[in-house]
């Protein structure tokens, strides 16, 4: 089939989130289909500044059409509009103004899709809330397959989006929790859909001792990998960890360290057992995961955590924030870790994981089995192929 992938940013430099999800899906569909990516010239998701050159470029052998963002995001205007549409009654015009202010506003992309949509059998559009997907899905009704990557924030409740879910040709969900949330708010039960998720980049061979030697880290440690940001739950993580450290130390226990890898937007506490690595390569990430006592995932909002899957692929247990329904569901279904609702549960989980190696090994093995049965690439590709085959049969292709 001829497939278009629509996503707000695209590139091998963009290593997380829906953009990495879109790239992995594109690359795994390309051996069996004609795949073209439609995206913007933006690399930074905050400003939408045009960092890439417009035009057609190949990324890992896939043609990528890049369209310029007409204007960068105005944070103050966007913030005012978001406060209005998220927390007050608002008009359809105000919702449309918020969508345009959120961006990335790339009208040339929309005009191109309007002119050339018939070159594709289906357009697979990632991240429901962005301008690119919102308008692409409206333009290609009957051809648009939506990968929502939806989180339980106020955007999902906006009337603006209901028609998008109803008009989708199919919906590829990241988790059962995401599917339930979308159906509750949009009532789009009649649209074909399947829980798919995404696989991970094939990890390089990990070496736990290399990581420990290079970074001078011995003993148990919790590992956080990702953007160090209050929006990712890191402020609560720092609060819970420092209070847990004091509590366990006072009780005569030796707490595990907290090791952080990723770009830091939030100030990191000055604490003797908090170690900041900075941004890490894929190799060092795998080495760190292999060495870690457990991966900690403090986010309140996720549609699917790829780093959780990376930890389970290496048989490492996880400790997740139970206030994120997706994370709690993943951990409960897999029995691949522990989850916490409050400081007391966090502290006890940290103590157990730090002191009971056999518990961590059992949980990690459970996670590895769950990953193998649900998130390896043959499983993911099979679900996409089955949906494309179903849609093709319905359309007489």
294 in the same domain as 277: yes
Report whether 120 contacts 143 (CB < 8 A).
yes
382 in the same domain as 294: no
Residues 6 or more apart whose Cβ sits within 8 Å of residue 28: 199, 377, 380, 381, 384
pLDDT at 293: 97
365 in the same domain as 324: yes
Q: Which range marks the domain in which residue 84 is found? A: 2-199+376-394
102 in the same domain as 30: yes
Report whether 367 contacts 374 (CB < 8 A).
no
Domains identified in the chain, total number: 2
276 in the same domain as 174: no
pLDDT at 397: 61
354 in the same domain as 243: yes
162 in the same domain as 112: yes
320 in the same domain as 219: yes
Residues 6 or more apart whose Cβ sits within 8 Å of residue 390: 192
pTM score of the predicted model: 0.87
112 in the same domain as 56: yes
Distance, CA of 67 to CA of 54 (rounded, Å)? 5
pLDDT at 312: 96
Residue 259: count other Cβ atoms within 10 Å of its Cβ: 23
Check which CATH number belongs to the domain holding 151 and give it: 3.40.50.2000
362 in the same domain as 272: yes
Distance, CA of 17 to CA of 151 (rounded, Å)? 12
69 in the same domain as 53: yes
pLDDT at 204: 85
pLDDT at 231: 87
303 in the same domain as 155: no
pLDDT at 396: 65
SS3 364: helix
Per-run averaged pLDDT (10 residues), the chain, 397 residues: 97 86 96 97 93 96 97 92 91 93 96 96 96 96 94 90 94 94 93 92 90 95 94 95 96 94 93 95 95 96 88 97 94 96 97 94 97 94 96 77
SS3 178: helix
pLDDT at 260: 97
- Per DSSP bridges, beta strands 274-276 and 62-67 are unpaired
Distance, CA of 112 to CA of 122 (rounded, Å)? 15
């Amino acid at each position: 089939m001829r497939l278009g992938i629509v996503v707000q940013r695209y590139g091998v430099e963009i290593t997380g989130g829906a953009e990495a999800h879109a790239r992995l899906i594109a690359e795994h569909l390309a051996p069996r289909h004609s795949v073209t990516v439609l995206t913007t010239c933006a690399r930074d998701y905050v400003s939408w500044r045009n960092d890439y050159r417009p035009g057609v470029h190949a990324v890992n052998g896939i043609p990528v059409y890049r369209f310029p963002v007409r204007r960068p995001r105005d944070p103050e205007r966007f913030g005012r509009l978001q406060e209005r549409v998220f927390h007050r009654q608002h008009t359809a015009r105000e919702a449309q103004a918020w969508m345009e202010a959120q961006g990335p506003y790339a009208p040339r992309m929309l005009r191109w899709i309007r002119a050339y949509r018939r070159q594709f059998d289906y357009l697979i559009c990632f991240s429901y809330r962005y301008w690119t997907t919102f308008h692409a899905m409206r333009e290609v009704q009957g051809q648009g397959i939506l990968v929502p990557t939806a989180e339980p924030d106020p955007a999902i409740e906006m009337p603006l989006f209901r028609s998008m879910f109803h008009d989708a040709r199919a919906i590829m969900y990241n988790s059962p929790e995401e599917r339930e949330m979308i159906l509750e708010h949009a009532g789009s039960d009649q649209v074909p859909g399947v829980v798919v998720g995404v696989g991970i980049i094939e990890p390089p061979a990990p070496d736990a001792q290399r990581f420990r030697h290079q970074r001078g880290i011995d003993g148990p440690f919790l590992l956080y990998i990702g953007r160090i940001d209050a929006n990712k739950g890191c402020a609560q993580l720092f609060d819970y960890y420092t209070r847990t450290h004091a509590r366990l130390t006072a009780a005569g226990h030796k707490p595990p360290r907290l090791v952080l890898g990723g770009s830091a937007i939030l100030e990191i506490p000055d604490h003797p057992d908090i170690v900041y690595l900075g941004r890490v390569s894929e190799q060092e990430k795998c080495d760190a995961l292999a060495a870690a006592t457990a991966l900690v995932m403090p986010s309140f909002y996720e549609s699917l955590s790829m780093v959780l899957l990376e930890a389970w692929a290496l048989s490492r247990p996880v400790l997740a924030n139970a206030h994120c329904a997706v994370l709690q569901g993943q951990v409960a279904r897999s029995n691949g870790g522990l989850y916490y609702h409050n400081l007391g549960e966090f502290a006890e989980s940290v103590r157990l994981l730090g002191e009971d190696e056999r518990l961590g090994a059992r949980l990690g093995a459970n996670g590895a089995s769950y990953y193998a049965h649900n998130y390896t690439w043959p499983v993911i590709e099979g679900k996409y192929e089955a949906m494309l085959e179903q849609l093709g049969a319905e359309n007489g292709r």
